[in-house]
Amino acid sequence: MNHKTQRMMANMAAPRRILVMLALLCCFHSSATTSEKAPEKASEKVPEKDQSVTYDARSLIIHGKRELLISGSIHYTRSTPEFTSEERYDVVKFIKLVHKKGMYVTLRVGPFIQAEWNHGGLPYWLREIPDIIFRSDNEPFKKEMQKFVTMVINRMKEEKLFASQGGPIILSQIENEYNHVQLAYRHKGDSYVQWAANMAVALNTGVPWIMCKQKDAPDPVINACNGRHCADTFTGPNKPYKPFLWTENWTAQYRSFGDPPSQRAAEDIAFSVARFFAKDGSLVNYYMYHGGSNFNRTSSAFSTTRYYDEAPLDIFGLQREPKYSHLRDVHKAIKMCKKPLLNGQRNTQKLDEFHEISVYEKPGSGICAAFLTNNHTKDYAKITFRGQTYDVPPHSTTILPDCKTLVMNTQYVTAQHNSRNFKKSKLANNFKWDMYSEPIPTTKEIPAKRKFPLELYELLKDTTDYGWYTTSIELSPEDLPLKKGTQPVLRVMSLGHAVVVFVNGVYVGSQHGTKENKACEVSAPANFVVGINQISILGSLMGLPDSGAYMEHRYAGPKSITILSLNTGTLDLTLNGWGHKVAINGEDHKIYNEKGLKNVNWKPVNGPGPALTWYKTKFATPEGDGPVAIRMAGMGKGLIWVNGENIGRYWMTFLTPLGKPSQSEYHIPRSFFNKDKENLLVIFEEEAKGPQQVEILNVDRDTICSFISEVHPPPIDSWAIKNMKLQVVGEQPRTKASLVCPDNKKIAAVDFASYGDPAGSCGDYQLGSCNAPIAKQIAEQECLGKPSCELSVDKSLYFKGNDPCPKVVKTLAVQVSCA
């Protein structure tokens, strides 16, 4: 395990026991927990070594103790690049690693998982079973599903991984968000839900089963919520004795190629978490906590190679601030409320349409916690509770662990911010590129054996993205236009996902679909000649579908091929007779690894190559031990290999509405590099582009910032629960800015400091109209050369009693660089 992964696991494990959820071969989750001994009946006593996992209306009960669980999804196939490629899919190994780190696991078996994973996790060969209908009361599908689920559960039992056996698995999930498609299958959908639940429960795991987004989950299966604001959108458990569980709190939004950046504010997520626990919630899971990368061809149709880069841990495993630490702070606040939440009775006072107070209290015990909520999106509120008035910002919750002390408001971020940096490696960019152009086949190499073009999914069977279609047509002089300025047009209409078209070996055109509309069309002039003309079409996929009903009936590939503007009219070639070939020549010869390189003739690069060109170079391992990325500047669309490892699909020419690629930098795990020799980089480029601008980059988040106003509360660590009471830790709580460098680095420079009304975000702050000139000097005195520092937000320190802008609420913005 490399140090980045060790640190990531350590960060997730602190400060107490952790929950990790898994969607098999795809999803994992992590979390801090708090626990209370479950109430006992007068005639019962909890066994000393109770290994059971049960539940009631309030919470899960694990080993005889109630649990509040906060968790985060981590897909081990996307997130453990330090494993070798063979070990990356070893679920047992990963669960044991999680257990070793002191975490719980929820095994989300599926087998359908969606998760923007290729085919939703279902293998392609299922499509070819006669009469199969996925995810329905269909005997062929149920047979394969039961076989798979039983195999997985038995494997877990053999390894003693269920909590009932002393292992970490405390929950299992069957199916995934089936309510979305259930109506499409009518009564077969209803009976399938019953069958799936009964089949799972009969496997006797000793832990509860859950179904997410499944209102009619049969007993004893727990129905759980997925979404952004489950406190307000979840109708609740379908039985009064089941707990409120939130299995997916979306930390951003997955992205498809062509999508602009997707963000979700840390403040909004923190608000949703606090509000859920304020309304009887007992488990919140972040989807995703760390997204990672879709290495190889594992992403679903049109999904980007990076996955949930905007999660609290970015695709490189680095903490995205303030999201990571602001959520950590709300977890601490919830933990301070654990006694009342698990033992008190809830009383909710609805003040009006937008404002409410939720109180958890055990009469006569002194145990009390309150949540003051302002659900208005624009207006501040003054909420009076037990004789004290609290200012509550819009769209926020104020947390009072003792029903009087404000330890946190979800809208006020006291945690530090950071900005990600991509720096060109000094060692790794001395490239000397060679190229090999993919041969364009004809009917001589791929003779026509079928009347019409085969469907592309069926042709490729998920073994490659690429498949060739060839046909030929003989044209006479009478067929070709005689008038100058006219030329025959070849039209290729495809169901998706992309096509590259050649006539007589000459590039004619290319086109692609989108996530929403996968079909595409090429209509372009072509150089047809008298005699035999060869038409070659490279069809390609951007992954298999991962959602919706009747996935087994999705189709792709060319559906209509015609020649327009002939003297003799339109010529339809769809039934002309077609040849087919799976994969391109470079894939056949594995020229992306050291051994396969020798199978073709390479030549030095001299400018951009034609469409369908392979490029190779050697490069040194980048300096340092931090994350590494490759920036595909100047390239079009294709695949990348490093030392034979496919790091995923890239696409630079499919621009967002903002005029930029959806993804420019692609993660290269350090475990893919050679230790004692140069590395091999191979790129397959579909368009007429060259690699001259490609760069290897070191990645860090060494730019850290703080943005704190004078009305912010003190940091959450100013208080702690001791002897069942909320107490001040150290000095009297005060508002302050805190900066901590990552990886034991020190503050090397203060890039920006302003006290007044600065604007912007970390990495791009600007001075406002009110500013204390002494702010940067104070920051340099307190911070330079130190691994961390604290800065006061006291007005008197910056203005010395002469405030030039007294009506402005003062904010301290500081940006520093660590090294």
Say if 798 falls within a structural domain. Answer: yes
Residue type, 357: I
* Residue at a domain's end among 272, 307, 336: 336
- Count other C-beta atoms under 10 Å from residue 130's C-beta: 5
- Count other C-beta atoms under 10 Å from residue 553's C-beta: 9
Say if 412 falls within a structural domain. Answer: no
- Count other C-beta atoms under 10 Å from residue 36's C-beta: 17
Paired strand residues for 209: 172
Angle, in degrees to the nearest 10, between helices 323-336 and 266-278: 20
Question: How far are the Cα atoms of 10, 515, 616 from residue 189, in angstroms, in the given order?
Answer: 42, 26, 51
Residues 558 and 659 in one domain: no
* Residue at a domain's end among 551, 575, 599: 575
Residues contacting 668, CB < 8 A, separation 6+:
628, 629, 630, 642, 647, 696
Say if 389 falls within a structural domain. Answer: no
Residues 548 and 628 in one domain: no
What's the total number of domains in the chain? 4
Report which DSSP code applies to 244: E
Say if 346 falls within a structural domain. Answer: no
Residues 430 and 475 in one domain: no
Nearest to 469 by CA among 481, 487, 451: 451
pLDDT for 32:
41
Residues 61 and 206 in one domain: yes
Q: What is d(CA 28, CA 96) in angstroms, rounded to the nearest whole number? A: 13
Residue 248 annotated to the active site: yes
Report which DSSP code applies to 100: H
Structure-block tokens of residue 212: 């997410």
Paired strand residues for 521: 493
Structure-block tokens of residue 472: 């030929």
Looking up residue 63, the CATH number of its domain turns out to be 3.20.20.80
Residues 649 and 545 in one domain: no
Nearest to 502 by CA among 458, 460, 471: 471
Contact 24, 108 (CB under 8 A): yes
Looking up residue 533, the CATH number of its domain turns out to be 2.60.120.260
Say if 72 falls within a structural domain. Answer: yes
Residues 675 and 765 in one domain: no
Per-residue pLDDT tens over the stretch 321-337: 999 999 999 999 999 99
Helix (H, G, I), strand (E, B) or coil at 325: helix
Residues 72 and 209 in one domain: yes
pLDDT for 735:
96
Q: Which residues of the chain fall below pLDDT 70?
A: 1-49, 80-87
Residues 547 and 687 in one domain: no
Q: What is d(CA 154, CA 152) in angstroms, rounded to the nearest whole number? A: 5
Cis preceding-peptide flag for 715 (omega within 30 of 0): no
Parallel/antiparallel/unpaired status of strands 103-110 and 18-23: parallel
Say if 644 falls within a structural domain. Answer: yes
Residues 685 and 797 in one domain: no
Choosing from 67, 116, 175, 177, which is the catalytic residue?
177
Q: What is d(CA 699, CA 309) in angstroms, rounded to the nearest whole number? A: 14
State the alpha helices, DSSP H only, in 476-591: 585-588
Say if 728 falls within a structural domain. Answer: no
Choosing from 67, 248, 438, 587, which is the catalytic residue?
248
Question: How far are the Cα atoms of 20, 140, 153, 179 from residue 203, in angstroms, in the given order?
Answer: 21, 20, 7, 23
Say if 599 falls within a structural domain. Answer: yes
Helix (H, G, I), strand (E, B) or coil at 260: coil
Structural domain including 798 reads 735-818
Contact 666, 629 (CB under 8 A): yes
Contact 220, 241 (CB under 8 A): no
How remote is the C-alpha of 427 from its chain's centroid? Answer: 31
Q: Exposure of 455 by Cβ count < 10 A (0-12 exposed, 13-18 middle, 19+ buried)? A: middle
Residues 476 and 593 in one domain: no
Residues 154 and 303 in one domain: yes
* Residue at a domain's end among 294, 313, 336: 336
Q: What is the DSSP string of 373-423?
A: EE--SS--EEEEETTEEEEE-SSEEEEETTSS---EETT---S-EEEEEEE
CA quadruple 309, 83, 652, 502: dihedral sign = negative
Question: How far are the Cα atoms of 103, 222, 283, 285, 443 from residue 33, in angstroms, in the given order?
Answer: 9, 20, 9, 12, 64
Residue 177 annotated to the active site: yes
Residues contacting 182, CB < 8 A, separation 6+:
189, 190, 193
Structure-block tokens of residue 180: 């979305």
Contact 581, 467 (CB under 8 A): yes
Our CA angle for 465, 666, 93, nearest 5°, is 80
Contact 808, 757 (CB under 8 A): yes
Q: What is the DSSP string of 234-288?
A: ----SSTTS-EEEEEEESS---BTTPPP----HHHHHHHHHHHHHTTEEEEEEEE
Looking up residue 779, the CATH number of its domain turns out to be 2.60.120.740
Q: What is d(CA 78, CA 26) in angstroms, rounded to the nearest whole number? A: 7
Show the beta-strand stretches assigned E in 63-200: 65-74, 103-110, 169-174
Helix (H, G, I), strand (E, B) or coil at 257: coil
Residues 604 and 749 in one domain: no
